[in-house]
Amino acid sequence: MNLETLAAQLGQKLSLAPADLETHSKDESYPERHPPTAVVFADCLEDIETTLAWARENQTPVIPFGAGTSLEGQIIPQGQAISLDVSRMNKILEIRPEDFLAVVEPGVTRKALNEALKGTGLFFSVDPGADASLGGMAGTNASGTTTVRYGGMRQNVLALQVVLSNGEVLELGKAVRKTSAGYDLKDLFIGSEGTLGIYTRLTVKLHPLPSFIHTQRVFFASLEQAAEAAFSIMASGLPAARLELVDALGIKAINQYLERNYPVQPALFMEFHSSSEAALEAEAALAFELMQDAGATSIDAARTGEACTAQWEARHQAYWALVNLYPNKEYLSTDTAVPISKMPELVRFSSQLLEEMHLTGCILGHVGDGNFHTLLVCDYGDPRADAFSQRLVEHTLALGGTCTGEHGIGLRKKKYLALEHGAALGWMQQIKKLFDPMGILNPGKVV
């Protein structure tokens, strides 16, 4: 591998430093680590084109890297590879409030974009918890706590600039709310996890900041009651913007990690974005009534901005709270989604499966859109973790669901794609070969 040629072209943007190789050898959750051969810190389109040209000549894989917050092994090399870090491509190129959109480079993080939007009355809605890069979020079709109202990345990316493995630059999508012009290649590239092309610019949708917000924490005697209560909220037509389930173990971990004093019971964290003060009062009253009917043991309203922020901080920190509660363990975060009506059944199955397999795990997630996570805590190499995931995915698919609602496929979920998609998987593999015939873009992932 002739790295000297690439170093001569990129200078100090090419790194062989052990610390950089280590940083780019892992993601947040996948247990294996494999350092890349080198890291390229691109800060412009030309750097990406130079790296891809070198990769073609040397038949060396290239793996796009943003903030490193993926969970399924998407950014981990499977052999010799260049980690193409786009975190320095972090310019907000344009904010167009009159069109409710922004144009950004792929290394811009969601928090940085929302900070830049202060004073416009607008915000970028997709909130996966981690301060991920927008390029990485598009790569996995990320979603999060607000997806139930505003949608995930596929619904909030209007256009992409993408570089293919052959160096060709494509403009996909348009800065409009709808188009019927040809095949939708933009949505094909969203969720492709760097296997089809490398994002160099994104045009994203913005939303008006809600004026009337009502937030509640509701606690129940059982997890099943909480899941059924979440379904009743969705069935009611209330304007839920966030609807999050946290089981008793998750609440215990949050209490210890963030020094809270929540009741150690299964909970729903809810937020409604209403159209007026009168609507808010009526909707809050209906939500209160529904929760009482569902068997709530306590209902707390967060009535100040600080209280709302504290509530959602608790939800976002749940993973790290569990890690703090059980140090020096291996953590597997599952990510299944089913039709909303089947969500209580899958929550029940997951809870029973944990008990049956004598596993420690925390059930939490975005139950308003049928998506939740089971965070397993195991000793390193415990075979029960994969066995649990296999049985959970099989049951999820039997209910008409999917093996991943937002984390993506990466390395961990590849084995489930044939079961979920059947013959369609073969067409996905052909699409991969069409766009990347040399197989140099993040090989070994997804398909």
Q: Which CATH number fits domain 212-398: 2.60.40.1180, 3.40.462.10, 1.10.287.1120, 3.90.1530.10?
A: 3.40.462.10
Q: What is the CATH number of domain 92-208?
A: 3.30.465.10
Q: How far is CA 71 from CA 32, 142, 189, 388, 423, in A?
A: 11, 11, 19, 17, 27
Mean pLDDT of 282-292: 94
Using DSSP, state whether 161 is helix, strand or coil: strand
Strands 212-220 and 198-205: unpaired
> Tokens 């999917």 sit at which residue?
402
pLDDT digits (tens, 9 = 90+) for 376-422: 999 988 999 999 999 999 999 999 999 999 999 999 999 999 999 99
DSSP track, 210-247: PSEEEEEEEEESSHHHHHHHHHHHHHHT--EEEEEEE-
pLDDT at 2 over 90: no
Q: How confident is the model at residue 1 (pLDDT cuts 50, 70, 90)?
A: low
pLDDT band, very low/low/confident/very high, at 364 (cuts 50, 70, 90): very high
pTM equals 0.94
Chain centroid to Cα 167, Å, comes to 28
CATH code 3.40.462.10 region(s) in the chain? 212-398
CATH 3.30.465.10 domain span(s) along the chain: 92-208
Task: Provide CATH 3.30.43.10 ranges for the chain.
Answer: 3-85
CA distance to 15, 53, 64, 287, 372, per residue, from 440 (Å) = 20, 11, 11, 52, 33
Look at the alpha carbons of 223, 258, 116, 112 in this order and tell me if their dihedral is positive or negative: negative
| Topology (CATH level 3) of domain 3-85 | 3.30.43
What is the torsional sign of CA 193, 194, 196, 202? Answer: positive
Rounded CA-CA distance 354/183 in Å is: 43
Q: Tokens 């917000």, residue? A: 213
CA-closest candidate to residue 268, choices 227, 318, 235: 227
Helices 223-236 and 277-293: crossing angle in degrees, nearest 10, is 140
More confident residue, 101 or 32: 101
Sheet holding 101-104, edge to edge: 92-96, 101-104, 198-205, 157-163, 169-173
Element at 385 (helix H, strand E): helix 384-398
Determine the pLDDT at residue 31. 87
